[in-house]
Structure 1
Amino acid sequence: MKQELVIRSAKDVSDFVDEQAGGRSTFLIVMVALGGVFVDAYDFTSLGIGVPALTKTFGLSPIEVGSVTAMMAIGAFIGAIWGGKATDKVGRYKMFLVDLILLVVAALGAALSVNLPMLLVFRFLLGLGVGLDFPVALSFIAEFVNRRKRGAGVNLWQLMWYVAASCTGLIAIPFYFAGFGDDLWRVAVGFGALPALIILILRFKYVKESAPWAAQNLGLAEAARILEATYKIRTRVVQDAAQRVPPLREQAAFGEIFTSRFIKRTILVSVICATQSLEYFAIGFNLPSISQALFGKEFINAIVGAIAFNAFGIVGAVLGVAVTKRMGARRMAIAGYVLVLLSLLALFRLHDALPIEYTGLLVGLMILGHAFGPGAQGMTMAALSYPTRIRGVGTGWGQGMVRVGSITGFYFFPLLVAAVGFYNMIGILMLAPALGLVAALLIKWEPVGATIEESDAQHRTEDAVLEGNM
């Protein structure tokens, strides 16, 4: 006989999800949700391989190259800020489909661009789709995975990122040897439409709306229907509690994440997201060119070197998922920042004295520390630090801060390298992880395992009582 769940409130829905053991189907749905992150990472890193060919195709100056790379980050910033609020308003499922449709169209448009203005427009749209996807994907996972595995489930996004970044090189290699030459960047960028289309179909077929979000916004009856379809159980909604529109429903606002109850965690999320993005996009996006500088100017060295460095990221991400519950996001961020700082310091001070293989190892360790620590934990904290009703807003804000860092890394760091040299840029870059480390040490907020929904309900009840007594 099927289990029957009696639903009297939105809390019953969240409690049921929190207590589910999960299984193969849960993992597969999480992977489909994270499929957008795969597309995001692929789209962001694919152009890094083709920058020399792209520069030759359109005759770009360094500032124009920076504009092409930064344009996607600008679109992602706007998409994240707007998309976070939109996903709280219209739901996770609709946004899941909209952002991937945009990614398919934009990837093909960018690959077929005939001039710089056309490329900039489609790169902006590509970024818009990327920015929309992150808040909805991580919000959905935070509301779909049980409390015990939630932190690790959200942290899987970093593993997906580095797998995608590695796939960029693997996909480019056969086309390189096939003689695509100056058109390699078109192949690399346009190929991103294929995984986006596949993920779009899988989401449409297998993913349903977030039950906790539905309980708060669509009514308990709709949340019950979602639970029945997802977990194959029977539900019974108590009639006097069934409401199509819950009385506490309200539009999510960015202002709430800056109130006294949330401000410390919002500051921590903001600093970690921005600083980790700065350190990654100053180094990670330039892994192909760094590989050429270390191992030789042949283009194949750019591809193979980037794949090798991204393998360090995969190792760091896997380790991070394994210890999330035990260490917590904040301590993982601290440990990662320390490794990043030590690696950058060694690169800055010892690069002239080190053999090439040790220099490459230091770059790899920097990527490993980043993937284990702040690279993953900034967005994981954003997804886990806020209750369902404003989770999209909080996650969108975190992703917006990521894009502030990436815009700076994309646009200004290449100019900084041109002005002072790569290793002096490394010395300046150390300020980013140092700032993040100080913030993580001072603000002692740990979202992994926190009872966010219960705390939110209690505070809202107390606020209502105070207002009633005034």
Structure 2
Amino acid sequence: MAHHPLVRGVKDVAALIDGHGRITGRARLVWLLVFGGLFLDAYSNAALSAGLAPMTKQMHLSTDQVSILTATAPALAILFNPIGGWLASRIGRVPPLLAAKLFALGGALLAAFAGDFTTVWLGRVLVGVAYGVDFAVAMALLAEYTPAKLGGRLNLWQGVWYIATTGNLALTLLFFNLDAGADIWRWSVGSAGVFALVLFLGQLKFLVESPSWLASRGRLADAARNLGRLYGIRAEAGEPEDRAEAADARPAVGFRQAGVLFRGRYLPRTILSSVISLDQAMQYFAVGWYLPVISLAIFGESFEKATVGSMVFNAFGIAGGLLSAYVGRRMGLRLSSAAGFAVVLVVLVVMGLTFGHVPTWFAFILPVLFIFAHSAGPGANGKSIAALSYRSEVRALGTGVTGMIGSFGSVVGLYLFPQIKDGLGLGHTFLVLAVVPLSGLITCLLIKWDPTRAAAEDEQPAPGDLAPAPAAS
């Protein structure tokens, strides 16, 4: 009788996936479906911004109402990133992902058929819930599906983000040319519902629960079965090497155990991933509002030309995001983040010192460099480094907390820095903003942890890392 490898815990699951070394068969389809959820998150966010001007005009929205609509999704994500991580730790990775698609579908339909501000806002609330839950869980699941040597591929989410944004802009442009008129925003946000429904059906049929999560819950037979379903790995459930440790590991890690992220060897990892996530979100969303200004100056004042201009800028984000997987593999996530922060720092200082005094072509190059360096470095790594820095028991919680901090940075970037601009002017605002990438650069240089350079022994539990969690009540 053929001898099959035994699954006695999370370590064996990870070793079998790493030893397989490839993303093949059903695992490839599942990987694409999970990435599709990240595409939907970006698309749903872009859908509002692409149609915000005609929506404002048609519904006679005030400045405060526009601000509320813009802030709702990232503000809700602050809360639902850790909630998504908590759910994924307790009930598995797949159920929260499916629920997120239903929230996204409901939010798109509410907004598309809304007759007043309140209904549109409720739609954005549902989108924010979906965004917060999906991103936290998807990155954790992708990390557990992916062999260690291919971990850099998680950075492809950044390219997916810009592809989704560009796709929504292109679709909005199509609706514009089809004379959708003032209702163009309804087609934009409604199209996100179509993607949400397709993804829900695809994920419902093909997603497979993470073998790592199953093993961490003591469900070794299910973990072995799912290794076969995903990769064709024929494994069998064995007896846990340490029964006491296995029993202690079974209760899910929840909010009461969140302190594990801030002690032992996890403390520097949490600081590093949190600072990268916070600073990349803050710098992107603080400068993001400036890009349409450049676009209008270069490509003209019409809606059509401004939309094409925004697509040009996003093209550099796609290039940087796709390149980030290669850069992250060659340099490591920490050093590639440091390099990206360094370039962004220089760009912001130059923008601050030269704003209004340079030719248009030079003014175009600076934000292009900003977007490319951001997406190739810290923009991509802000999510990936957290997903790769924790053991399976706390991975979803870690990505949730890091995502929450990043969402907070988004809100701060969207609202704090425009206020500084009103008080100091645009040039001085760029100089003030330069402190953000400087903070990220210093943190990346001081903390040496990099999950793509970690030795196997770094992933073994150490005193203070994972104290036994109390049983769930």
Whether the 8 Å contact between 1:277 and 1:402 is mirrored in structure 2 is: yes
* Partner residue, 2:471: none
Alignment CA distance shift 1:101-1:464 (3 Å): closer
Structure 2 portions without partners, runs of 5+: 469-473
The letter of the residue matching 1:109 is L
* Partner residue, 1:92: 93
Normalising by structure 1, report the TM-score.
Answer: 0.92
* Partner residue, 2:62: 61
**How far 1:462 sits from its partner (Å)?**
9.7
The C-alpha deviation readout for 1:238-296, integer Å capped at 9, x for no partner, is 367799x9402233122110123322221121211111101111223553454124432
| 1:227-376 equivalences in 2 (<5 Å) | 227-238=227-238, 246-247=246-247, 248-252=249-253, 253-284=257-288, 287-376=291-380
Aligned equivalents of 1:439 and 1:397: distance in 2?
18
Whether the 8 Å contact between 2:337 and 2:378 is mirrored in structure 1 is: yes
Aligned equivalents of 2:108 and 2:199: distance in 1?
14
* Partner residue, 1:448: 452
Whether the 8 Å contact between 2:260 and 2:466 is mirrored in structure 1 is: no
The C-alpha deviation readout for 1:11-68, integer Å capped at 9, x for no partner, is 2122101211214434432221111110111111222222221221232333322211
Alignment CA distance shift 1:258-1:241 (3 Å): closer
* Partner residue, 2:184: 184
Whether the 8 Å contact between 1:76 and 1:400 is mirrored in structure 2 is: yes
**How far 1:145 sits from its partner (Å)?**
0.8
* Partner residue, 2:441: 437
Root-mean-square deviation (CA, aligned residues, Å) is: 2.4
Structure 1 portions without partners, runs of 5+: 466-470
* Partner SS, residue 121 of structure 1: helix
Aligned equivalents of 2:2 and 2:36: distance in 1?
32
Alignment CA distance shift 1:435-1:233 (3 Å): closer
Alignment CA distance shift 1:131-1:143 (3 Å): same
Normalising by structure 2, report the TM-score.
Answer: 0.91
| 1:371-382 equivalences in 2 (<5 Å) | 371-382=375-386
Further displaced range: 138-147 or 45-54: 45-54
Whether the 8 Å contact between 1:3 and 1:234 is mirrored in structure 2 is: no
Further displaced range: 133-142 or 19-28: 19-28
Report percent identity of matched pairs.
34
Further displaced range: 366-375 or 321-330: 321-330
The letter of the residue matching 1:30 is W
Whether the 8 Å contact between 1:221 and 1:242 is mirrored in structure 2 is: no
Aligned equivalents of 1:345 and 1:109: distance in 2?
43
| 1:53-202 equivalences in 2 (<5 Å) | 53-150=54-151, 152-202=152-202
* Partner SS, residue 202 of structure 1: helix
Aligned equivalents of 2:423 and 2:187: distance in 1?
32
* Partner residue, 1:468: none
The letter of the residue matching 1:137 is A
* Partner residue, 1:459: 462
Aligned equivalents of 1:180 and 1:55: distance in 2?
15
The letter of the residue matching 1:64 is Q
The C-alpha deviation readout for 1:125-148, integer Å capped at 9, x for no partner, is 101100100111110111111111
Aligned equivalents of 2:72 and 2:306: distance in 1?
23
Whether the 8 Å contact between 2:111 and 2:120 is mirrored in structure 1 is: yes
**How far 1:444 sits from its partner (Å)?**
1.6
Alignment CA distance shift 1:82-1:108 (3 Å): same
